[in-house]
Structure 1
Amino acid sequence: MKDLTGQQRHAEAYNLITEEGPQFPDDESDVYYLRSCAAARMGRADLAVTLIREALARGHWYGEVFLRRSPSWGPLQGTAGFEDVARESLARQRAASAAARCSVVGEQLGPEPYRAVVAFHGNGGNTRESLSGWREVVHEGRLLVAVQSSQWIARGRAVWDDEDKALRDVREQYATLTAEYALDVGHLIIAGFSMGAETALRMALGGTVPARGFVLLGMAGPRTADPASWLPFIEKRRQSGLPLRGYLMVGANDDDGVRREKMTRLADFLTSHGIPCGLEVLPGHGHEYPGNCLSTVRRAFAFINSDDP
């Protein structure tokens, strides 16, 4: 698909995704988007808009980023048909943003207060993916909480790019959580994947979530490659006087090994500034949740709790 688009063979790309798309029902929204983009590139504005309308009818929608920044949809801007579906799509985005809330699962939790893991999905993800990716923690008798960003870019896909909105979402959802559950803040762990990992670290260092430790998987974001940019956050944590430990995990094949180097530097930097960090490289994995990671989760928790009295 990418090769055909790069070669300006848009009709072939359209036919390919139309034929192969039904094999990927979980990616139906993306299939409609790619078909519409190919149609627009072919000069078929009518077909491009029809496909967006069909996607809306099936419950999908596309946010501001897709609607206004997609190069393929650039020629459609301002046309009556496109603006009609754009209004509907943006209305659904606003409704989804207003309804963002955390999700909670747990089993055999025992008496209150509960030990909990508060998880952050990656960019383009959602709470369902967080609950699936970190599901192993419930086997350790912990409450698993997945925080949902309100920065939706499409149905089922949200990002953490706006730090102020991320802070607001986390504060509101954590307040709701603590109103419903008594948590053991002395053993609260915050976890995150990709950009959600960078967001989780900000929240842990800043005390937005009073975490005892953090577990970061495949961390990505503007600060990941620049450990020194965390100094103001580290200083704020130091002033609180509260202990904090972390555990970083990264796939050996993530970004061809580049992400492993970035996370190694970050782990060393945090450790040298008073926040001990372990690091584990996951063989055979890329930028993904590892699955069946109970042993890895246990090692992370053991490291975080290793200085318990």
Structure 2
Amino acid sequence: MAPLGFRGLQERVKRLSDQQRHAEAYSLITEEGPRFPDDASDVYYLRSCAAARMGRADLAVTLIREALARGYWYGEVLLRRSPSWGTLQGTAGFEDVARESLARQRAASAAAHCSVVGEDAGPEPYRAVIALHGNGGGARECLHGWREVVREGRLLAAVQSSQWIARDRAVWDDEDEALRDVREQYATLTAEYELDVDHLIIAGFSMGAETALRMALGGTVPARGFVLLGMAGPRTGDPASWLPVMEKQRRSGLPLRGYLMVGANDDDGVRCEKMRRLAEFLTSHGIPCGLEVLPGLGHEYPTDPLPNIRRALAFIRSDDPGHRTPPDT
């Protein structure tokens, strides 16, 4: 049997937990977790959750303390809303580590900023892509996921949400905070770099994709195009819910084109149909939108994104009316 990737390991641990087999879940993540040093924060979290479910509050708190000692931390959402840690709330040991963890979260939120690569992508003004990570991700992962835009002569700037759930992991759930983060970091970016707003693109993955679409339609970022991968969120399956913000974009008179990409296996294929309906809806309301279904891909970044990126950028650049029908490749 091929070794499990970390996502597969997480799924096995969750299945065991759902079956109330918490001791087995703890043994599995403890034995297999060291194979994934880049996911050590999540390994500590899963081990602590399993320990708490086993009734080992002391061990659960010890594991959080070990994670803190290694530089990791957990945000308020996990600390206060994780069902596994529910029995720890109010206990002296847990509240002690929670205070330290929340202090680190506050410091990280205050320091959230854009990460930029591709300063040598060409002369200023730069043709830029502003990218938003998915829920549970961060700017570093985002830069890797959209890295190929730099090879296409673009500056790449990854916006970091300040809604942290753990070190290097944040969400976009609060729309007002998301709006503030994108607006402030875009202002900082434009103060440091001259951008070609006629070729500005905003991109995003998962909940970051839904947030990116909201920012493009609402004019938070004066984008002329958007590229959305595996879009997920409360509005994803309801295209009509975008009408109010689409009206704002229409009144601006600025041209806007978009390109949606979705894995064929994402959400067992359900997300493909949602993306198809959204692409058709946007196109019918004057925002030409392409669609590309990526074979064999789930809810993740493609391993070789360059061909997809090239097609997306070509579609957004194109004024050919023949591109107005979403291509399903």
Taking structure 1 as the reference length, what is the TM-score of the superposition?
Answer: 0.97
Report what 1:62 is aligned to: 74
Query: Is structure 2 residue 61 aligned with structure 1 residue 49?
Result: yes
Query: Is structure 2 residue 270 aligned with structure 1 residue 296?
Result: no
What 5-or-longer segments of structure 2 have no aligned partner? 1-12, 321-329
Once the 2 structures are TM-superposed, how far is the Cα of residue 307 of structure 1 from its aligned partner? 1.7
Report what 1:91 is aligned to: 103
Matches within 5 A, 1:15-54: 15-54=27-66
Question: Is the Cα–Cα contact under 8 Å of residues 107 and 139 in structure 1 kept in the other structure?
Answer: no
Report what 2:283 is aligned to: 271
Report what 2:181 is aligned to: 169
Q: CA RMSD in A?
A: 1.1
Q: Which amino acid aligns with 2:314?
A: A
Report what 1:201 is aligned to: 213
Question: Is the Cα–Cα contact under 8 Å of residues 143 and 156 in structure 2 kept in the other structure?
Answer: yes
Question: Is the Cα–Cα contact under 8 Å of residues 118 and 145 in structure 1 kept in the other structure?
Answer: yes
CA offsets per residue over residues 146-180 of structure 1, 9 Å max, x none? 01100000111000000000000011000000001
CA offsets per residue over residues 184-239 of structure 1, 9 Å max, x none? 00000111100000000010011111001000000000000000000011100000
What 5-or-longer segments of structure 1 have no aligned partner? none
Matches within 5 A, 1:199-278: 199-278=211-290
CA offsets per residue over residues 79-101 of structure 1, 9 Å max, x none? 11110000001111111111000
Q: Which amino acid aligns with 2:78?
A: F
1:121 pairs with one of 104, 119, 133:
133
Report what 1:80 is aligned to: 92
CA offsets per residue over residues 240-260 of structure 1, 9 Å max, x none? 011100011111111111000
CA offsets per residue over residues 103-149 of structure 1, 9 Å max, x none? 11005422211100000100001111111011111011110010110
Q: Report the Cα distance in structure 2 between the residues aligned to 1:108 and 1:7, rounded to whole angstroms.
A: 53
Q: Report the Cα distance in structure 2 between the residues aligned to 1:291 and 1:11, rounded to whole angstroms.
A: 35
Question: Is the Cα–Cα contact under 8 Å of residues 260 and 291 in structure 2 kept in the other structure?
Answer: yes
Identity across the alignment (%)? 86
Question: Is the Cα–Cα contact under 8 Å of residues 107 and 141 in structure 1 kept in the other structure?
Answer: no
Q: Tell me the matched-pair count.
A: 308
Structure 1 outlier segments of 4+, above 6 Å:
none
2:200 pairs with one of 188, 194, 197:
188
Give 3-state SS (helix, strand or coil) of 1:164's partner. Answer: helix
Question: Is the Cα–Cα contact under 8 Å of residues 139 and 160 in structure 2 kept in the other structure?
Answer: yes
Report what 1:105 is aligned to: 117
Q: Which amino acid aligns with 2:147?
A: R
Q: Report the Cα distance in structure 2 between the residues aligned to 1:263 and 1:209, rounded to whole angstroms.
A: 22
Q: Report the Cα distance in structure 1 between the residues aligned to 2:15 and 2:223, rounded to whole angstroms.
A: 45
